[in-house]
Amino acid sequence: MAVIYRVNMSEKSVRVEEPSEDYLELGGRALTSAIVAGEVPPTCHPLSAENKLVLAPGILTGTGAPCSGRLSAGAKSPLTGTIKESNAGGQGAIALATVGVKAIVLEGKPANGKLYRLRVNADGVKIEPADDLAGLGNYDTVARQFDKFGDRVSCISIGQAGEMLSSAASIAVTDPEGRPTRHCGRGGLGAVMGSKGVKVIVVEAADGRRPKPADADAFKKGAKKLNTALKGHPITSEGLPKFGTNVLANVINDAGAYPTRNFQQGQFEGTEAISGERQHDLIVERGGKIAHACHRGCTIKCSRTYVDENGEYVTKGPEYETIWAHGADCGIDDLDAIAKMDRLDDDFGLDTIELGATIAVAMEAGIIPFGDAEGAIGLLEEIGKGTPLGRLVASGAEVLGKTYGVSRIPTVKGQAMPAYDPRAVKGIGVTYATSTMGADHTAGYAVTANVLGVGGSVDPLKPNGQVELSRNLQIATSAIDAAGLCLFVAFAVLDDPTALEGICEMLGGLYGREFTTDDFLAVGKQTLARERAFNAAAGFTAADDRLPDYFKTERLAPHDATFDVTDKELDKVYDFIG
């Protein structure tokens, strides 16, 4: 049975416990949110000893299920003040599951301000001093671990931003090539890891074993169904492998929903130069790699390897959200400059969405002009230097905007909005407003029906049906996060009933009992109910489930649209909780 390791950084002790009956069938987001909601005081300071950082592989992670290598990180967020789960691909979650880890719970806080490394293998968890890693970026940090422990380990680490306890700090996870390119980005959870004094977690999985389903035949049947559905869907079998997530750039720009220059416009004149199609051609011309898997067992392979004009590695992807945040939102149309910023974000350990949005707000504040790629790179470099300006940028869009008196700050609950303008994709606006974790497109990706025609069609410019769309997607997404599946399996799930059947059959095979669609959705509903209860106890009310007022008053071209889903309708999203 997989176990929970409680690592107390105040006492430098490790306690092993078998999961309680309540936690036995939970994983990923369902488990991180259950532990945080059940054990963390809702009103505590996110960087205090009372907060806990929970790292948990998904329920299906490590079993060989397609696209199931997600790692969930959960805590009270220093960025939003809400409960938070952020997940990433990479090899870390699979490695943890292979050595029998259900979750690692970081508790307490070291009194001496020193840094530590956790070594995790089939024998348990060890705490080791790691002051020699102080001030290093993620790339140098993981390189030293590979030098010390060999190239078969996986690493989960923080960069300088996490050490500085910055509110936009991420947690990096190494990919199959050992690069720290996959990030639990949103919500500043890298700062929570830094507050616990943990610089890196090294997972040695060479002697581990894959979790075994109770009913192997049922599990294999379900895995085959899901895999077949993924191979049969045009987005997961063609669009994403060839053009990556950035295949969306031209699509969203054509829809008039591509936020440009700090959400001032819905279309960017430079989109073609930073599109997925142009990115694909440039990578191929230079000898980079497309259709790259962020973890072993991924069948979608939406990642890619970006190289410079000399064919030298620069960074992964970059992904759609990253290219938008550092591109159109800042008025920049230079892929090489954006790739350099992505590399800096990954190295310093920063959420690329938050940082791009912060730079755009800085541009609106007049710190640098829109379109200034070198100036944007300079702002990021300030973070690595630890200067006062760098620390301010690493604090996120809302803090920087308020400091400079900017009135147009695109955040909800303190977290920056991603790459879809809520005036032109109103379903995603409902998700931004009401998500338990601040503005987050992945919480309920209404772009599916609003723009892509996946899972039906809901007019993106009308308020009708947006609440129901967002609600249903938020429930399903939280269940997918619990399973440890990549969110992109949802494209197949929404269009092909056999995909969800396959997921439920895999879970049933794992548990050795029937597992229905209702059981799957119940996991999502239960998780959201726990998260909402935590936030309510932390002082959040319906008034926090709102977009900034200017989205209701400033009209967005080319549709001349505002966000007009009423507050009364927004308050109905969680009616299912009772």
- Pick from 176, 155, 152: which is nearest to 292 by CA? 176
All residues at 6 or more sequence positions from 309 whose CB lies less than 8 Å from its CB, including other chains: 286, 336
- Pick from 314, 347, 345, 313: which is nearest to 137 by CA? 347
Cα atoms in the 13 Å half-sphere on the side-chain side of 80: 33
Phi-psi region of 157 (alpha: psi -120 to 50; beta: other; left: phi over 0): beta
Q: What is the mean pLDDT of each run of 10 residues along the chain (578 residues)?
A: 96 96 96 98 98 98 96 98 98 97 98 94 97 98 97 97 98 97 98 98 91 95 97 96 96 98 98 98 96 93 96 96 98 98 98 98 98 98 97 98 98 98 98 97 97 97 98 98 97 96 98 97 98 98 98 97 98 94
State the first-to-last Cα distance of the chain, in angstroms, to the nearest integer: 35
Judge residue 191's burial from the number of C-beta atoms within 10 Å of its C-beta, 0-12 exposed, 13-18 middle, 19 or more buried: buried
Q: What is the pTM (predicted TM-score) of this model? A: 0.98
Give 3-state DSSP helix, strand, coil % of the chain, rounded to 5.
45, 15, 40
Q: Is the peptide bond before 418 cis (omega within 30 degrees of 0)?
A: no
Q: What is the DSSP code (8-state) at residue 405?
A: T
User: The tokens of 192 are what?
Assistant: 């929570």
C-alpha span between 158 and 226 (Å, rounded): 34
Q: How many CB atoms lie within 10 A of CB 109?
A: 17
* Topology (CATH level 3) of domain 422-495+516-578: 1.10.599
The answer to whether 475 touches 518, Cβ cutoff 8 Å, is no
In sequence order, what are the beta bridge partners of 357? none
Q: CATH number of the domain at 246-421, please?
A: 1.10.569.10
The answer to whether 273 touches 333, Cβ cutoff 8 Å, is yes
Cα atoms in the 13 Å half-sphere on the side-chain side of 140: 10
Judge residue 261's burial from the number of C-beta atoms within 10 Å of its C-beta, 0-12 exposed, 13-18 middle, 19 or more buried: middle
Q: The domain 3-203 belongs to what CATH superfamily?
A: Aldehyde ferredoxin oxidoreductase, N-terminal domain (3.60.9.10)
C-alpha span between 13 and 35 (Å, rounded): 19
Cα atoms in the 13 Å half-sphere on the side-chain side of 57: 30
- Concatenated DSSP letters of 180-243: --EEE-TTSHHHHHHHTTEEEEEE--TT--PPPPSSHHHHHHHHHHHHHHHHHSHIIIIIHHHH
The answer to whether 113 touches 197, Cβ cutoff 8 Å, is yes
pLDDT at res. 207: 80
C-alpha span between 264 and 254 (Å, rounded): 16
The answer to whether 430 touches 570, Cβ cutoff 8 Å, is yes
C-alpha span between 457 and 467 (Å, rounded): 14
Helix (H, G, I), strand (E, B) or coil at 51: coil
In single-letter form, the type of residue at position 293 comes to: A
Residue whose tokens read 């239960």: 526
In sequence order, what are the beta bridge partners of 129? 116
The answer to whether 401 touches 409, Cβ cutoff 8 Å, is yes
**Is the sign of the CA dihedral 262, 267, 271, 276 positive or negative?**
positive
C-alpha span between 425 and 449 (Å, rounded): 10
Question: How many residues are given for the chain?
Answer: 578
pLDDT at res. 252: 98
Judge residue 313's burial from the number of C-beta atoms within 10 Å of its C-beta, 0-12 exposed, 13-18 middle, 19 or more buried: middle
> Strand 198-203 relative to strand 116-121: parallel, antiparallel, unpaired?
parallel
In single-letter form, the type of residue at position 508 comes to: G
In sequence order, what are the beta bridge partners of 118? 127, 201
Model confidence pLDDT, tens digit, residues 166-192: 999 999 999 999 999 999 999 999 999
All residues at 6 or more sequence positions from 325 whose CB lies less than 8 Å from its CB, including other chains: 352, 353, 355, 356, 357, 360, 418, 419
The answer to whether 111 touches 9, Cβ cutoff 8 Å, is no
Q: How many CB atoms lie within 10 A of CB 345?
A: 30
- Concatenated DSSP letters of 301-337: --EEEEE-TTS-EEEE---HHHHHHHTGGGT---HHH
Helix (H, G, I), strand (E, B) or coil at 25: coil
Judge residue 87's burial from the number of C-beta atoms within 10 Å of its C-beta, 0-12 exposed, 13-18 middle, 19 or more buried: buried
C-alpha span between 268 and 262 (Å, rounded): 11
